[in-house]
Structures are given as C-alpha cells and as structure tokens.
Amino acid sequence: MMRGRWIAPVLWALLIETLTSWPNVPSASTGHGFDKVVHFGLYAVFAFLVVRAAQPAVPGWRVMGVVLVVLCVWAALDEWHQTWIPGRGAEVADWAADATGVVVGLLIRRLRSQRVMMGAA
C-alpha cells in the first residue's frame, strides 16, 4: 500500500514540529551541545523514513538528492519558525546539525537497502 508507507515520516514530521513549537524549553542539563545531538538524531531518522517511503527498494541518487534538498529546506524553515516561538530562536548550528543528520540518515538507508538487496541475490 503506497500511502501506508508515508505514515511514519508524517508522524515523525509532526513530532519534530511539535517539539520545535514548544515555548520556553528548559535547557538541557547534560551539557553544552547536547541539543545538536538531538537535532542530528531527529533529522537522521526523518531522512531515513522519508527516503524509505519515497523509494522502498535501493534509493537512487536522484531521489536521495531531492530528499536532501527538501529536508534541508524544511530544517531551515523550522529554524526560522522558531523565531516566532517565545523563548526559542534560530541557530545556524542547529540547522547544520539537522542537515548533517539528513545526510547520515540517507546514507544509512542506502547502505542498509543495498545490503538487503545483496543478501537477497
């Protein structure tokens, strides 16, 4: 079912937007930079889910490129959106962590799907 495979990425997008719309977020007590790890992880999973939904087999480079651009723009818009939320702000470093997560999520998906395809052969 084609629509069914988009449920996870849509739910993940809603999670990201809910988290980034939360005003006056308490600072992480685990130390400076932990928020970058969270940004990285959220967008790595997001990219993995989106490219898996877009192309369930081994994703082609064109599909991965489109997902990369779309999710990096999404992340930039999300950072801008946070400037309107009390106690939040936009940071280039957060966007960079998001974009790095997107790249890693895409690469993990590609490598994983290639390995599955090689095992099936």
Q: Which two tokens stand for residue 63?
A: 């599909």
Q: pLDDT per residue over 62-78, tens digit each?
A: 999 999 999 999 999 99
pLDDT in tens, 92-111: 999 999 999 999 999 999 99
- Put simply, whether the predicted model's pTM sits higher than 0.85 gets the answer yes
Q: Which tokens hold the place of 16?
A: 């990201």
Q: How many CB atoms lie within 10 A of CB 36?
A: 17
CB 42 within 8 A of CB 78: no
